[in-house]
């Protein structure tokens, strides 16, 4: 059992998250008006954000799930992307919106974007609830971002530390003394 005292400051409350997800859903619905999109949920981290965002989007959409992993166990990226589960629909000619909980080094989204570009979609855009630009190693930016955050390891709202804390309804800083 991980000690709940590992959780530090809450940076976004349940209410902050709800308001921002509503805004993003409205913006996406307006910008894709008249089109149909495929939301690609990148598991596991984006399960909560995708579920909330999808319900704020009021244009026709389908939802596909893909599972990848770059962080094996803790707080540092392995640098390469492991595809654990691919989507199983053709995407040629489709508008794709890839949904992530966070862009940190950018390695995950950069690799995903390159991979989807080879499948001939009509378009590929990226939506990340959190963006940590100070840590970027790969040249990638999201088209839609919920919040830009400082360089702290965050947990909650899908984000984990060693698979824990994804269920927290808020986003908090993991105290450094527990993983450094
Ligand atoms: O920008 P990056 O440095 O690549 O980091 C971001 C990625 O890392 C986390 O996933 P992780 O690989 O830990 O798997 P998970 O979603 O199952 O937690 C997070 O959900 C993003 O997918
Ligand atoms: O800050 C983070 N928290 C959880 N998972 C992550 N994966 C990349 N950055 C993070
Ligand atoms: Mg992830």
pLDDT of residue 176: 86
Determine the average pLDDT of the residues in 113-135.
Answer: 96
Q: Ligand 1 mean position to 34 CA, how many Å?
A: 32
Look up the ipTM and state it: 0.98
The pocket around ligand 1, CB under 6 angstroms, is made up of: 42, 44-45, 69-71, 77, 100-108, 160
Residue 4 clears pLDDT 90, i.e. is over it: no
Reading the block at residue 134, the tokens are: 């100070």
Q: Ligand 3 mean position to 88 CA, how many Å?
A: 19
In CATH terms, the fold of domain 20-154 is: Rossmann fold (3.40.50)
Burial 132-157 (b: 16+ CB within 10 A, else e): beeebeeebebebbbbebeeebbbbb
Q: Ligand 3 mean position to 159 CA, how many Å?
A: 8
Is 143 in contact with 152 (CB distance < 8 Å)?
no
Segment 129-161, tens digit of pLDDT: 999 999 999 999 999 999 999 999 999 999 999
Determine the average pLDDT of the residues in 110-114.
Answer: 92
pLDDT of residue 178: 73
pLDDT of residue 1: 62
Segment 55-79, tens digit of pLDDT: 999 999 999 999 998 765 556 666 6
By annotation, the residues acting in catalysis are 104
Instruction: Give the residue, by CA position, lying nearest to ligand 1 atom 16.
Output: 45
pLDDT of residue 177: 79
DSSP designation for 79: S
Dist. CA 13–CA 103, nearest whole Å: 20
Residue ranges of domains in the chain: 20-154
Is 174 in contact with 149 (CB distance < 8 Å)?
no
Pocket test for ligand 1, best of 44, 46, 71, 133 (most atoms within 8 A of CB): 71
Looking from the CA of residue 43, the nearest atom of ligand 1 is 16
Segment 8-34, tens digit of pLDDT: 999 999 999 999 999 999 999 999 999
Q: Ligand 2 mean position to 148 CA, how many Å?
A: 13
pTM of the model: 0.94
């Amino acid at each position: 059992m991980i000690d709940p005292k590992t959780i530090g400051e809450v940076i976004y409350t349940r209410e902050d998250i709800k308001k921002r997800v509503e805004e993003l859903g409205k913006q996406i619905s307006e910008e894709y008006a008249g089109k149909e999109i495929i939301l690609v949920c990148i598991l596991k981290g984006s399960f909560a954000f995708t579920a909330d965002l999808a319900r704020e989007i009021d244009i026709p959409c389908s939802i596909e799930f893909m599972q990848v992993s770059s962080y094996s166990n803790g707080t540092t990226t392995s640098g390469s992307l492991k595809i654990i589960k691919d989507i199983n629909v053709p995407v040629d000619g489709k508008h794709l919106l890839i949904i992530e909980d966070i862009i940190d080094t950018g390695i995950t989204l950069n690799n995903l974007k390159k991979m989807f570009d080879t499948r001939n979609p009509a378009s590929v855009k990226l939506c990340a609830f959190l963006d940590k630009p100070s840590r970027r190693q790969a040249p990638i930016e999201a088209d839609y971002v919920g919040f830009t955050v400082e360089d702290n390891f965050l947990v909650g709202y899908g984000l984990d530390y060693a698979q824990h804390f994804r269920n927290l309804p808020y986003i908090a800083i993991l105290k450094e003394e527990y993983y450094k």
